Structure 1
Amino acid sequence: FSSDLRGHGFRIESLGGSELTKMNEEFEYTAYENDLPVRTFFIGPSNPNFRPLNRISPLLQMAIMQSEDGGFYYHQGFLPGAIQEALAYDLQVGRFARGGSTITMQLVKNVFLNRHKNIARKLEEALIVWLIENQHLTSKERMYEVYLNLVEWAPLVYGACEASHFYFEKEPSDLTVEEAIFLASIVPKPKHFRSSFNEDATLRDSQGGYFRLIAERLCAKGLLTEEEAAAVRPEITVKGKAREMILYPDSIR
């Protein structure tokens, strides 16, 4: 399961109505659930909840990257090993259960493509990823900025700013290391964030291993000292709307 695609005078004549450089400027993004649009907002300065990278904590940036795609700044959009494992699992269970997705692949899927999981869409996804990465249509920094502003962190809560205020009532630039690691842990399961908590809104003990792992990686990247990493515990104080949803789930409609 390996291949190499080199372009010699290669160009795309037509690719539907997609403008493959649209992430370079402000653009309108629509979030979908079960193939239905649920919310539309702008990724850019006209959105009061948009935050450029320099206004998002480096701790949060690195925690998510180490959790989702540690080689994002170094690969060209694909992790063949992860895709191979996902494909083997999908064939085993007879459906698209795992994606082996990098951050670039997640962006392409959400920004450019429909939500129908089939072979044709996966091929489209692979082609667009290859074009964006190999022809440098959008910088890695801008891609990550877009990703952090559209990723879902709870039902209908999108982007680092909304997530920071939803869980902690603060700006994403002001997050503690524990808060940053917690937010990274939610990205794969935003609609089920309450499963991370006990009934009193404290984190479950099962979160300890994840917190230690990400703290060690933050230390290896130079964002924490060894002493700071060793002191990290799965302890956060959830506030506002998130706290209400954890403590009083039956009252939320």
Structure 2
Amino acid sequence: MKAVLRWAGLVLLAGLALQLFFIGRIAAMGVVAPESTAFQRSEAWAQLAGRQGLHWRQQWLPYADIGDHLKRAVIASEDDGFVNHDGVDWEAVEKAWDRNARAQERAAQRLEAAPSRPARPARIVGGSTITQQLAKNLLLSGERTLVRKGQEFVLTLALEHLLTKQRILEIYLNSVEWGDGIFGAEAAAQHYFKKSASRLTASEAARLAVMLPQPKRFEKTPQSAYLAGRTRVIVGRMASAELP
């Protein structure tokens, strides 16, 4: 029993040390821009393991130098309550649960109606805020487990309490993936439109924002009807998007 208690104590201490490390990293980001994120490092390793080698585009822009069109477009597309929530949009989470439950039910009905057909997985949607996405990409792995989701929640609260909304959005826009080896707003603007992120039009900014959930897919299908239609929707929402 003593050995079990000793090991349990060591595990708790290791967990506490990890949380303190994460919180220290986040606090430092208030004044020092992160050189890379956990997601970026994972992508870099995947590139190095491939045939083409490492190809990487990223250039940090201060918050003031990122055009308001892109800020509004990303907020309108990814997290329209960004300036008002405390890191988690519980209403969006509830809606995502409902949509996923309905999708799973429809998938089960299709399987019951045609059991011989290959099963088509239900499309799962999330309700993650910009802060939650940043927490995941900055410091966590890509695995989907309850433990990792709990860690994401803790880091989300730390980001909201230790950094300003402007700083959170600044780090997010400078580190998020916008294609294969393309990270951050400036690299994306230069790659897709041959101009700085400060000079993007409303339509160009909206198109970049719509790419964010699946940037590698849309990089290969720039003429996608969905991409064009969703871009028009986001342009219409941008005027009401509140900036921090």
Question: Which residue matches 2:189?
Answer: 164
2:129 aligned to which of 95, 102, 105: 102
Matches within 5 A, 1:109-188: 109-133=136-160, 136-188=161-213
2:21 aligned to which of 17, 26, 30: 17
Question: Which residue matches 2:214?
Answer: 189
Q: Does 1:27 align with 2:54?
A: no
Partner AA of 1:218 in structure 2: M
> Which TM-score applies when normalising by structure 2?
0.70
- Asked if structure 2 preserves the Cα contact closer than 8 Å seen for 1:23 and 1:143, the reply is no
How many angstroms apart in 2 are the aligned matches of 1:69 and 1:221?
A: 9
Deviations 1:181-231 (A, max 9, x none): 11111111111124543xxxxx344444323322222234599xxxxxxxx
2:230 aligned to which of 203, 210, 215: 210
- The SS at the match of 1:28 is coil
> 1:109: how far off?
0.5
Q: Does 1:55 align with 2:80?
A: no
- The SS at the match of 1:26 is coil
How many angstroms apart in 1 are the aligned matches of 2:175 and 2:137?
A: 9
CA RMSD between the two structures = 3.3
Percent identity, aligned pairs only?
A: 33
Q: Which runs of 5+ in 1 are unaligned?
A: 1-11, 41-46, 198-202, 224-253
Distance 1:194 1:142, change over 3 A: closer
> What is the number of equivalent residue pairs in this alignment?
199
- Asked if structure 2 preserves the Cα contact closer than 8 Å seen for 1:153 and 1:191, the reply is yes
Deviations 1:163-198 (A, max 9, x none): 01111111111112221111111111111124543x
> 1:29: how far off?
1.2
How many angstroms apart in 2 are the aligned matches of 1:34 and 1:142?
A: 24
How many angstroms apart in 2 are the aligned matches of 1:100 and 1:206?
A: 20
> Which TM-score applies when normalising by structure 1?
0.68
Deviations 1:106-142 (A, max 9, x none): 0110112222210001011112212332xx2011100
How many angstroms apart in 2 are the aligned matches of 1:108 and 1:204?
A: 30
Deviations 1:51-88 (A, max 9, x none): 01211110111011100001111100111122234445
- The SS at the match of 1:126 is helix
Partner AA of 2:137 in structure 1: N
Q: Which runs of 5+ in 2 are unaligned?
A: 1-14, 49-53, 108-120
- The SS at the match of 2:132 is helix
- Asked if structure 1 preserves the Cα contact closer than 8 Å seen for 2:72 and 2:242, the reply is no
Partner AA of 1:129 in structure 2: T
> 1:33: how far off?
4.9
Partner AA of 1:210 in structure 2: R
Higher strand share: 1
How many angstroms apart in 1 are the aligned matches of 2:207 and 2:58?
A: 24
How many angstroms apart in 1 are the aligned matches of 2:81 and 2:153?
A: 18
Deviates further, 75-84 or 100-109: 75-84
> 1:13: how far off?
5.3
Greater radius of gyration (CA): 2
